[in-house]
Amino acid sequence: MRAYYFDNLPGDQRLPHDFNPSRPVSQETLEAIGVKSWEIPVERYEPKLNAVAKERDYKNRDTINVSREGMGAIYEEKIKGFFQEHMHEDEEIRYILSGSGFFDVRQASTDEWIRLAVTPGDLIVIPAGIYHRFTLDEADNIKALRLFKDEPKWIPHNRGVETDANPYRQDYLKSIGVGA
């Protein structure tokens, strides 16, 4: 996974949106905002992925194919929805099997976007309460395992005053030492 600051320039969300020169983001910075990642080669990934799942108490999983072929008529609507800034009350855990894309996460202390460019073998954990969004890149497809602690919950809470006051958002901010 490659992490860098998003340039915020207008244009296709599927482009890299990297500064020139790039402004890379360190693993330490990601850990400070609660984002965790591992690289697990896709060939024979199951033992290592299962070990992480056991360690983090992930009990369920499924596979998602985000592509025109995989999603059919709802593809454009879903891509637009994934790219709306939101948070969840559960961790978002993804292991990339094929394809590629971008997860953008907000660095709460600066409100800057950090772009996470994911490719096969990347496992990422986006903490509950962090503002984030997702988009495909120009290859226009990604296949990922989604892992869950319990039953999947698909409730995105779009950024706003009400979501800022959400207890999961407040707990997240406390956990990273931001805010009251």
Q: ∠ CA 42-113-27 to the nearest 5 degrees?
A: 50
Amino acid at 166: N
Binding residues for Fe(2+): 86, 88, 92, 132
Omega before 41 cis (within 30°)? no
Quick count: other Cβ atoms within 10 Å of Cβ 55? 8
E strand map for 12-141 = 36-39, 60-66, 86-87, 92-99, 101-107, 112-118, 122-126, 132-136
Spatial separation of the C-alpha atoms in residues 131 and 104, rounded to whole Å: 9
In the chain, where does DSSP find H-type helix? 27-32, 46-55, 68-71, 75-82, 161-164, 167-175
Binding residues for Ni(2+): 86, 88, 92, 132
Contact criterion met (CB below 8 Å) for 33 and 107 = yes
Contact criterion met (CB below 8 Å) for 49 and 43 = no
Binding residues: 86, 88, 92, 132
